[in-house]
A and B are shown apart, each in its own frame.
Chain A
Amino acid sequence: MGIDLGSTTSKAVIINEKDEIIGRGITNTRANYKVAADIAKLEAIYDARFTLLTQKLEAEIAKKPEFKKYIADTRAVFQYLQFKHRVDRLTEELLKSASTMRTESKDLVVDHIRNIMDKIVPEIRNDFVEGDLATKNEFFRDIVSERYNREVELIDKELFESLLLAYDKSITPVENEMVKYDFEKLVYEALDILDEKYNGLAEESTAGESLGFDVELNLLKGNYKQAEDSLKQHIGDIARQEIHIANMVGTGYGRALLPFPDDCIKSEILCHAFGAHAVFPDTRTVLDIGGQDTKAIQVDSRGLVTSFHMNDRCAAGCGRYLGYIADEFNISLNELGPEALEADRETNICSTCTVFAGAEVRELLNVGEKRSNILAGLHKAIVMRAMSLLARSGGVRNEFTFTGGVARNQAVLKYVGQMVAESYGDDIVMNIHTDSIFMGALGGAMFARRNIEVDLPAKKRKAAKAV
């Protein structure tokens, strides 16, 4: 297992003996690295169980592809149940902090909190069970905050501060609580919820309503019971199967806080390079744009780092820059890229500073600049910073692998592609992987796996001394 404790998100990856990722866990880091590491780790283990489950059912999935959809659904509901537990705790905390407030409108605040939570929790349930919230990789805080804030804005302005204060007080302790679930029990609960869902679907369609074009769903509504049965056959085994973590390596900014021996702590430069090189073996240049730093790494044919450059001074050019801009525009991080792609031109953003870019953006909006154009300009600005870092590190060599959370942003990808082609030729192959955010953790996991095979520096040294 590799754990990458980034300054913004914490990632955990479990690999098998072939360096294939079988479990991924991700959470936001916030203040507590220790909890973030534990949560990511636990999630990776649940994820690994689902992977094992999918593997067990491989033969059946081959015959009936719609089973895959059923497993994905189970997983989504499973996530919802985890979420539900935490959100119930949040409601408790919210009510507790509201009732200890020293304001006259205390009772009113309590009522409002009840109403808000009564409204948003079922809404979120629906998004998990019927929608695609589970696949969006959103964190607990973001899911709740977005909806909570929306509701607060509808309420009397005088209560605004009290409602937000209660929220700010409650969210962090709840987020930092470690909760262990009984995997099997939770899966069974998930299956029950799915029963309802598919039963409902079956009834709806007999009532003559079409399910649209979702072929898998159409197929499933008929034989979901069969899928459920197969799943149930294996679930006990999988739940009881001990996921033995043979070794762990920690990386990322918070790595020093992990209770690992020195040998099991590696710098994120090495881990990112190693991870990227493993996924794309012809990689020579790696660009990693994370939350609070950007790295340009040059590697040789063996995946060894030959040189690197980091921007760790300034948030402009890192993921947080986009986060800040998203806040300024009051939209979610996931919406930034798609909107920027709608631009007809890129507004020139001269600011090199995150905070001042915010001021520049407001000024541009005032003079009537289109939002999508501004966003495009901002995306271009962050990529230009990354390009300058790449140039400092020795340029882009073929092949070029782009990793980190920001590599999921389509607009960033567009500009990176454009600018790399302009500066280094259009024959440069650019690699992006859906797991790009996990590259550091993957590299860590690979180091961990190799450490077992005695090629660990310290072990070697010890061995040499022993002789």
Chain B
Amino acid sequence: MSTEVKKEKSMIIQKEMIAGLFKDLASVKESGKKVVYTFIPGNLSELIRSFDMLPVYPEINALQSGMRKKSGEFIREAERHGHSEDVCTYVKCDVGMMIKGNIGPTGEKLPDPDLLLLSYTGCFTFMKWFETLERLYPGVPVALIQSPYQEDATITPEMTEYMVKQLKEEVIPKMEEVSGQKFDEEKLKGILKLSAEAEDWIVKIFDSTKHRPSPIDAYFAGVYYIGPINIGFRGTQEAVDYYKELYKEVQERIAKGLGPITPEGVMKEEKFRLVVEGPPNWTSFREFWKLFYDRGAVIVASSYTKVGGVYDYGFRHDSEHPLETLAEYCMNCYTNLNLPQRINLLEKCITEYHADGYLTNSIKSCNSFAAGQLMMMRELEERLEIPVGFIETDLVDPRYFSYSNIKNRLESFFEMLEQRLLIEQD
């Protein structure tokens, strides 16, 4: 039996923010606002906002459909239209939803795009995805910004220059054309200031997992925490206020020695601290989380909460260099890091947050995450002698979430950790 969990104030604020965004999207006909479809990794939210346009994130719609148990139907629809079984299920879910009338998570129809802004960061599928959208919405302009992959684990001045050139010559002119507004650098700078402020708060929030017990779960709850910053609110006062409130609540939890809030209630005893690599499964999100909750496993860091931006090494949007900072932000996204960089980042998380175990959630239909996961896991196992676990699920295809298999593997993993911890105590 689940107990009704009292909602924290931050949860209510977030809910209102998102509802507001979808309401704005539903009423673009009246407001005349233009709509940009774009992706989370390397999203140019601030730029979109500076032109008073509204963003739509297809991945967010797909994951929302997954959580609302609609994705299976959408995926089947996309497959009927020729998408193969192995195509990314975010793509299929999104395409299926569009084919079936583009009814968004709030039950209202999402507006058609006025601009398809493809910020390409480390995921090849994004390109194919937008090629499909281009066919679904013929005549809609497409702007492509290609972020060079951090092959050599560094961002060179030439790379930044290349990105800025694309912004100036490709993205901004198209946005001006679609929105009918001139690019306003001062306005963008003001937005970027607020971005940096929100980013400071979010870093502090995720850093709270250093405490024992950890006051938050940095994966299952983490995906909610990154919501506002990732779905278009970065650079708004609302986002800053939300994170301030959230930070306050986290501090209160620390003071009271409380563990994370979960849908099943407050986690009672923190038995294991984990770092998780890979996106969560959305179709059985709550059951999935409960498997961890039941065993007292809290996630102290996850790579997935970094897909919308990696702030761990001090990057913040810099309002003094607006285009350069947008460029750098895009190139710094998790999926745009090379594998050794990802390993180093995960190592930092495991060490700083004192994780007992490292778990990989391999995603059947996601190449940009799944490729290299095993190698990364082996490397971390060797470097840190940390117990590792491996499970397989999918993003939003309910056919690939096998509850009993995952439960079985997780139980084995937790027992393995328990045995380890016991021996190490002795």
Residues of A within 8 A of B (CB): 253, 266-270, 302, 304-310, 312-313, 392, 394, 455, 457, 460
Q: Mark each residue of chain B from 387 to 426: 1 if its CB lies under 8 Å from any CB of chain A, else 0.
A: 1111010000000001001001101110110111011000
Complex formed: what's the CA distance from A304 to B416 in Å?
A: 7
Residues of B within 8 Å of A253, CB to CB, are 408
Complex formed: what's the CA distance from A456 to B63 in Å?
A: 42
**In whole Å, how far is B355's beta carbon from the nearest beta carbon of chain A?**
15
* Contact of A310 with B423 at beta-carbon distance under 8 Å, contacts A269-B416, A394-B381, A457-B418 already known: no
* Interface flag for B212 (CB, 8 Å): no
Complex formed: what's the CA distance from A457 to B408 in Å?
A: 20
Please name 10 pairs of A and B residues whose Cβ atoms are closer than 8 Å in the assembled complex, sorted by A: A267-B411, A267-B412, A268-B412, A304-B419, A306-B416, A307-B389, A308-B389, A308-B413, A310-B408, A313-B405
Residue of B nearest to A310 (CB): B409
Most chain A beta-carbon neighbours within 10 Å: one of B388, B390, B416, B420: B416
**B416 contacts A309, C-beta separation under 8 Å:** no
> Quick one: which of A270, A302, A392, A394 contacts B412, CB cutoff 8 A?
A270
Complex formed: what's the CA distance from A268 to B390 in Å?
A: 16
Residue of A nearest to B385 (CB): A306
* Contact of A269 with B374 at beta-carbon distance under 8 Å, contacts A309-B390, A312-B405 already known: no
* Interface flag for B378 (CB, 8 Å): yes
**A312 contacts B408, C-beta separation under 8 Å:** yes
Complex formed: what's the CA distance from A63 to B402 in Å?
A: 58
Most chain B beta-carbon neighbours within 10 Å: one of A304, A306, A307, A313: A307
Residue of B nearest to A460 (CB): B422
Residues of B within 8 Å of A313, CB to CB, are 392, 402, 405
* Beyond A308-B413, A312-B402, 7 extra complex contacts between A and B, CB < 8 Å: A267-B415, A268-B412, A304-B416, A304-B423, A305-B419, A306-B387, A460-B422
Residue of B nearest to A312 (CB): B405
**In whole Å, how far is B92's beta carbon from the nearest beta carbon of chain A?**
20
Residues of B within 8 Å of A266, CB to CB, are 415
Residue of B nearest to A309 (CB): B390
* Contact of A302 with B423 at beta-carbon distance under 8 Å, contacts A313-B392, A394-B378 already known: yes
CB < 8 Å A-B pair total: 57
B347-386 residues at the A interface, CB under 8 angstroms = 374, 378, 381
**In whole Å, how far is B125's beta carbon from the nearest beta carbon of chain A?**
23
The 5 residue pairs across chains A and B that have the minimum distance between CB atoms: A267-B412, A269-B412, A305-B416, A312-B405, A307-B388
Residues of B within 8 Å of A302, CB to CB, are 423
**B422 contacts A457, C-beta separation under 8 Å:** yes
**In whole Å, how far is A118's beta carbon from the nearest beta carbon of chain B?**
44
Complex formed: what's the CA distance from A253 to B389 in Å?
A: 19
Total number of B residues with any Cβ neighbor in A under 8 Å: 22
Residue of A nearest to B422 (CB): A457
Which secondary structure characterizes the binding site on chain B? helix
Complex formed: what's the CA distance from A152 to B163 in Å?
A: 77
Complex formed: what's the CA distance from A310 to B408 in Å?
A: 10
**B381 contacts A306, C-beta separation under 8 Å:** yes
Complex formed: what's the CA distance from A162 to B241 in Å?
A: 75
Residue of A nearest to B417 (CB): A305
> Quick one: which of A268, A269, A304, A307 contacts B381, CB cutoff 8 A?
A307
Complex formed: what's the CA distance from A372 to B150 in Å?
A: 53
Residue of B nearest to A268 (CB): B412
Complex formed: what's the CA distance from A313 to B405 in Å?
A: 8
**B374 contacts A267, C-beta separation under 8 Å:** no
Residues of A within 8 Å of B405, CB to CB, are 310, 312-313
Complex formed: what's the CA distance from A309 to B389 in Å?
A: 8
Residue of A nearest to B374 (CB): A392
Residues of A within 8 Å of B408, CB to CB, are 253, 267, 310, 312
**A304 contacts B420, C-beta separation under 8 Å:** yes
Most chain A beta-carbon neighbours within 10 Å: one of B415, B420, B423: B415
Residue of B nearest to A270 (CB): B415
**In whole Å, how far is B415's beta carbon from the nearest beta carbon of chain A?**
5
**In whole Å, how far is B385's beta carbon from the nearest beta carbon of chain A?**
8
Residues of B within 8 Å of A269, CB to CB, are 412, 415-416
Residues of B within 8 Å of A306, CB to CB, are 381, 387-388, 416
Complex formed: what's the CA distance from A160 to B77 in Å?
A: 45
Complex formed: what's the CA distance from A460 to B418 in Å?
A: 13
Complex formed: what's the CA distance from A320 to B415 in Å?
A: 27
Complex formed: what's the CA distance from A266 to B415 in Å?
A: 7
**B416 contacts A308, C-beta separation under 8 Å:** yes
Residue of A nearest to B420 (CB): A304
**In whole Å, how far is A374's beta carbon from the nearest beta carbon of chain B?**
29
Complex formed: what's the CA distance from A160 to B409 in Å?
A: 44
Complex formed: what's the CA distance from A312 to B412 in Å?
A: 13
Residues of A within 8 Å of B420, CB to CB, are 304
Residue of A nearest to B392 (CB): A313
**In whole Å, how far is A303's beta carbon from the nearest beta carbon of chain B?**
9
**In whole Å, how far is A194's beta carbon from the nearest beta carbon of chain B?**
46
Residue of B nearest to A395 (CB): B378
Complex formed: what's the CA distance from A309 to B390 in Å?
A: 7
Residue of B nearest to A393 (CB): B390
Residues of A within 8 Å of B411, CB to CB, are 267
**A308 contacts B412, C-beta separation under 8 Å:** yes
Residue of A nearest to B421 (CB): A457
Complex formed: what's the CA distance from A183 to B418 in Å?
A: 41
Residue of B nearest to A305 (CB): B416
Residue of A nearest to B426 (CB): A455
**In whole Å, how far is A291's beta carbon from the nearest beta carbon of chain B?**
14
Complex formed: what's the CA distance from A267 to B409 in Å?
A: 9
Residues of B within 8 Å of A304, CB to CB, are 416, 419-420, 423
Complex formed: what's the CA distance from A457 to B378 in Å?
A: 28
Q: Mark each residue of chain B from 145 to 159: 1 if its CB lies under 8 Å from any CB of chain A, else 0.
A: 000000000000000
Residues of B within 8 Å of A309, CB to CB, are 390
Complex formed: what's the CA distance from A305 to B421 in Å?
A: 12
**In whole Å, how far is B322's beta carbon from the nearest beta carbon of chain A?**
46
Complex formed: what's the CA distance from A309 to B409 in Å?
A: 9
Residues of B within 8 Å of A455, CB to CB, are 422
Residue of A nearest to B410 (CB): A267
Residues of A within 8 Å of B413, CB to CB, are 308
Complex formed: what's the CA distance from A457 to B416 in Å?
A: 12
Complex formed: what's the CA distance from A451 to B405 in Å?
A: 27
Residues of A within 8 Å of B418, CB to CB, are 457
**In whole Å, how far is A404's beta carbon from the nearest beta carbon of chain B?**
16
Most chain A beta-carbon neighbours within 10 Å: one of B374, B381, B412: B412
**B378 contacts A270, C-beta separation under 8 Å:** no
Residues of B within 8 Å of A268, CB to CB, are 412
Residues of A within 8 Å of B402, CB to CB, are 312-313
Complex formed: what's the CA distance from A392 to B362 in Å?
A: 13
**In whole Å, how far is B110's beta carbon from the nearest beta carbon of chain A?**
35
Residues of A within 8 Å of B416, CB to CB, are 267, 269-270, 304-306, 308
Complex formed: what's the CA distance from A310 to B411 in Å?
A: 13
Residues of A within 8 Å of B387, CB to CB, are 305-307
Residue of B nearest to A253 (CB): B408
Complex formed: what's the CA distance from A270 to B381 in Å?
A: 19
**In whole Å, how far is B211's beta carbon from the nearest beta carbon of chain A?**
22
**In whole Å, how far is B373's beta carbon from the nearest beta carbon of chain A?**
11
**In whole Å, how far is A318's beta carbon from the nearest beta carbon of chain B?**
13
Residues of B within 8 Å of A457, CB to CB, are 418, 422
Complex formed: what's the CA distance from A408 to B171 in Å?
A: 65
Complex formed: what's the CA distance from A97 to B291 in Å?
A: 45
B258-300 residues at the A interface, CB under 8 angstroms = none
Complex formed: what's the CA distance from A209 to B387 in Å?
A: 67
